[in-house]
């Protein structure tokens, strides 16, 4: 039994990732007093797009066409490294840095493809994306560093696999700080409110959405699917921090993990329902704040654990 569950993490993510979007949207609809779109709307959208033809702007080159595949590939590799219920398909010492730069490669592909279109909107979006991710990346890496120090392991699997309920008793504040910092990074990287608004139609206010304006058909489908996977991957980090995988394993672990992802999606929906977007001027403050929390967590961990 244990062995099957060991291999289930990645297929679970590949299948369930778009469902997170459905759960977020249903939560938002509930707060707005609407019925909302079907839970599986993201699947329908992706399936619809995959059957369409793509239209390419004449100013674009192969860079623009290759970016969606590069992005999808990078996020899938990142997914392999992230443990689900305490085990991942692949792990090595230092893979947390590899993980961060897989996501970095995905962003690089999107940004350079946006610049490739030569559109002023997409240029603005690219500039904002790069600006904000330079602030989000330290928050994520420092948070992971604190976890590495806490667990004594430099691979994601070792870090989360070693985390148990007793760690919460010993260094709860540090773990809570890390979870919060990663949650902020999660919202920023996935273009959610308060950093970005995934539902807006206003090009001038967009960050992520504006960079993919020129995509259509299967390319857009791939971009949307990769974005859903990214939501899943970064969400999995938070859930892993919070559920203490060491105490769970096998199928029960999988179920708890899936439940955690569900609650996370609902939480994102609630955040999006009760607050407005930040002004773009304030976003760096939020991200630097998240970075400060990671640093604080790292200091706490270094000072109070041996």
169 is an interface residue for another protein by CB under 8 A: no
35 is an interface residue for another protein by CB under 8 A: no
Cβ contact 72:229 at 8 Å: yes
Smallest gap from Cβ 213 to another protein, in A, equals 9
Contacts for 275 with CB less than 8 Å, ≥ 6 apart: 193, 194
Instruction: Kindly list the distances between the CA atom of residue 101 and the CA atoms of 106, 112, 282, 288, in Å, as whole numbers in the listed order.
Output: 8, 16, 26, 20
6 is an interface residue for another protein by CB under 8 A: no
202 is an interface residue for another protein by CB under 8 A: yes
Of 35, 51, 276, 306, the one binding another protein (CB under 8 A) is 276
Of 100, 115, 248, 280, the one binding another protein (CB under 8 A) is 280
Identify which of residues 169 and 204 has a Cβ nearer to another protein in the complex: 204
Cβ contact 155:96 at 8 Å: yes
Contact mark string toward another protein, 105..134, x via CB under 8 A: ---------------xx-xx--x-------
Identify which of residues 84 and 126 has a Cβ nearer to another protein in the complex: 126
The percent helix, strand, coil of the chain (3-state, each to 5) is 75, 0, 25
Identify which of residues 121 and 262 has a Cβ nearer to another protein in the complex: 121
Using a 10 angstrom Cβ sphere, with 0-12 exposed, 13-18 middle and 19 or more buried, the burial of residue 75 is buried
Cβ contact 86:161 at 8 Å: yes
Identify which of residues 203 and 247 has a Cβ nearer to another protein in the complex: 203
Contacts for 83 with CB less than 8 Å, ≥ 6 apart: 9, 91, 156, 157, 160, 161, 236, 240, 245
Identify which of residues 89 and 213 has a Cβ nearer to another protein in the complex: 213
218 is an interface residue for another protein by CB under 8 A: no
Of 39, 77, 278, 292, the one binding another protein (CB under 8 A) is 278
Q: Which residues bind another protein (CB under 8 A)?
A: 28, 31-34, 120-121, 123-124, 127, 193-194, 197, 199-205, 272-282
């Amino acid at each position: 039994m244990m062995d099957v569950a060991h291999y289930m993490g990645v297929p679970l993510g590949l299948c369930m990732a778009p469902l997170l979007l459905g759960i977020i949207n249903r939560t938002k609809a509930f707060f707005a007093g609407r019925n909302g779109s079907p839970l599986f709307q993201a699947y329908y959208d992706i399936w619809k797009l995959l059957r369409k033809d793509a239209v390419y702007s004449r100013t674009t080159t192969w860079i623009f066409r290759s970016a969606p595949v590069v992005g999808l590939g990078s996020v899938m590799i990142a997914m392999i490294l992230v443990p689900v219920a305490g085990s991942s398909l692949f792990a090595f010492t230092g893979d947390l840095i590899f993980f961060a730069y897989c996501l970095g490669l995905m962003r690089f592909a999107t940004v350079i493809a946006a610049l490739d279109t030569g559109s002023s909107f997409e240029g603005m979006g690219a500039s904002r994306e790069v600006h904000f991710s330079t602030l989000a990346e330290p928050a994520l890496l420092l948070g992971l560093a604190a976890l590495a120090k806490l667990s004594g392991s430099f691979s994601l699997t070792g870090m989360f696999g070693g985390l148990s309920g007793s760690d919460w008793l010993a260094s709860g504040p540090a773990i809570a700080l890390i979870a919060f910092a990663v949650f902020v990074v999660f919202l920023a990287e996935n273009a959610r409110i308060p950093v970005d608004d995934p539902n807006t139609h206003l090009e001038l206010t967009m960050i992520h959405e504006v960079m993919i304006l020129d995509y259509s058909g299967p390319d857009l489908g791939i971009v949307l699917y990769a974005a859903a996977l990214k939501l899943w991957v970064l969400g999995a980090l938070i859930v892993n921090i919070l559920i203490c995988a060491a105490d769970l394993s096998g199928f029960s672990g999988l179920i708890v993990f899936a439940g955690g992802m569900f609650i996370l999606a609902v939480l994102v929906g609630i955040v999006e329902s009760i607050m407005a977007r930040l002004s773009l001027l304030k976003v760096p403050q939020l991200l630097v704040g998240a970075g400060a929390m990671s640093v604080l967590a790292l200091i706490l961990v270094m000072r109070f654990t041996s």
